[in-house]
Amino acid sequence: MQTSSGLSAVPGIASAGAPKGASRGLPEEANEGTKRLRALMVEDEPADVELVLRALQKAGFETTEDIAQTGEEFTDLVRKNLYDVILADYKLPNWNGMESVAVLRQEGLDIPVILVSGALGEQTAVECIKQGAADYVLKDHLARLPESVRRAMRERKLREDHRQAQEELARSNRDLEQFAYVASHDLQEPLRMVATYTQLLAERYQGKLDSDADKYIHYAVDGALRMQKLVQDLLAFSRVGRQGLALESTDSNAVLQVALQNLEAAIQESGAIVEHAQLPAVVADSSQLVQVFQNLIGNAIKFCGSEPPLIEVAVLEKGKEWIFSVADNGIGIAAEQVENVFVLFRRLHTRAEYSGNGIGLSICKKIIEQHGGRIWVESEPDHGSIFYFTIPIKAIPKQ
């Protein structure tokens, strides 16, 4: 509702304001001289409204204001109009200015609330700021108000920019995942034709053409099969992001055991010894955590030196997270490559030296980051590597 207390000759923006819903974006910055300001005042004292407007005008603001005296009026106005700032008295007959903060939160609106009030006492003032008021200006220090408004608007602009950047990033990540999924999914079909028919060619005509032909067919088969593996890996990678997390209380000892079972052939073959401490229960997606252990231990076995692999899984509780570690006695990683190991499809060795597409650690990183953790590696060439990852300690969800 709009009150014309005889003070606001300027029509409220209820009639002139921008249509709501189009964008809750920020009003454009006016020219340097005067600055237009759309304010919603929570105030029951006409004389105070006048003082506030005057203070703003002196500082170069051209203010259009609406006035709300009750919670209903306030809610109604913020739903209908766009405001740059809320200037709220703390004490009104029927409600207090701080409740406007709660209303804005409920409505999902980010409009700075500046309390313009008589003396509140430090305690109350601090409490108001804690609850989300942008600032607190005493009615007998109204000269401070313009700067407070400017700052609140600057901060809001920063928040808005930040939020937009975040949204943009999230959207582009989603697009990328969708692309990876579609590309890998649709690529599989024609690839299957190439792979099976070059294999059929090889089977039928091996030794019947000349040795060059045999070699060329072999290259074609090899390329097709490798591309198939890449596409499957890409699909697996994009699936980690798309499937979401099934978070549950998970015994990481059991998770490790599953990973070790899956790796049994490799462990047997390499003579690897895997030692592990007693591991905690964590809140995680257990099948994804299996993948992490499996990839890390699998790598430790694969990239072993001349000695049989010796792998140690340990855990440390630090602050609000568990730090897991998987240490090995393998070939290690050169310092300049330490960052690269987590990059998608990054391989540090030739195919002749070590097989693989360079997907495993990228998947680990994605899984751990989805869980709100971090993953990193400490290593020295020829002296093994220690991969660390963290899982935040959370309350175990009830069954």
Partner 1 sequence: MKTQPEILMVDDNPADIDLTSEVLAQSKAHFHVSAVNDGVEAISFLRRKGKYAQAPVPDLVVLDLNLPHIDGCEVLSSIKSDPALARIPVVIFTTSQADSDISRSYKLGANCYLRKPGNLPEFVAVVQSMAEFWLGFASLPQKEKR
| 196 or 261: CB nearest partner 1 | 196
Pick from 189, 210, 269, 336 the residue near partner 1 by CB under 8 A: 189
| 130 or 204: CB nearest partner 1 | 204
Query: Shortest approach of partner 1 to residue 200 CB, angstroms?
Result: 6
Query: Shortest approach of partner 1 to residue 235 CB, angstroms?
Result: 10
Does position 325 interact with partner 1 (CB under 8 A)? The reply is no
245, 288 contact by CB (below 8 A): yes
| 105 or 185: CB nearest partner 1 | 185
Query: Shortest approach of partner 1 to residue 228 CB, angstroms?
Result: 5
Does position 193 interact with partner 1 (CB under 8 A)? The reply is yes
Does position 70 interact with partner 1 (CB under 8 A)? The reply is no
Query: Shortest approach of partner 1 to residue 184 CB, angstroms?
Result: 12
| 106 or 243: CB nearest partner 1 | 243
Does position 179 interact with partner 1 (CB under 8 A)? The reply is no
**Positions in 292-311 near partner 1 (CB under 8 A):** none
In this structure, what DSSP letter does residue 333 have? -
**CA 69 from chain center: how many Å?**
40
CA dihedral angle for residue 169, residue 173, residue 176, residue 181, rounded to 10 degrees: -170
In this structure, what DSSP letter does residue 21 have? T
Per-residue x/- mask for partner 1, residues 228 to 247, rule CB under 8 A? x-------------------
Determine the Cα–Cα distance for residues 195 and 238; give it in Å rounded to an integer: 23
SS3 of residue 101 by DSSP? helix
> To 5 degrees, how large is the angle CA 118–CA 105–CA 283?
130
Query: Shortest approach of partner 1 to residue 357 CB, angstroms?
Result: 15
Determine the Cα–Cα distance for residues 122 and 58; give it in Å rounded to an integer: 28
Query: Shortest approach of partner 1 to residue 196 CB, angstroms?
Result: 5
| 228 or 370: CB nearest partner 1 | 228
| 45 or 222: CB nearest partner 1 | 222
180, 232 contact by CB (below 8 A): no
What is the residue type of 315? V
**CA 328 from chain center: how many Å?**
31
**Kind of pairing between the strands at 35-42 and 85-88:** parallel
**Positions in 194-223 near partner 1 (CB under 8 A):** 195-197, 199-200, 203
Given the rule CB under 8 A, which of 116-124, 148-156, 186-194, 257-265 is the region that contacts partner 1? 186-194
Q: Which of 237, 243, 247, 238 is nearest to 363 (CA)?
A: 237
Determine the Cα–Cα distance for residues 64 and 76; give it in Å rounded to an integer: 17
Q: Which of 356, 358, 362, 332 is nearest to 345 (CA)?
A: 358
| Footprint of partner 1 (CB under 8 A) | 188-189, 191-193, 195-197, 199-200, 203, 225, 228
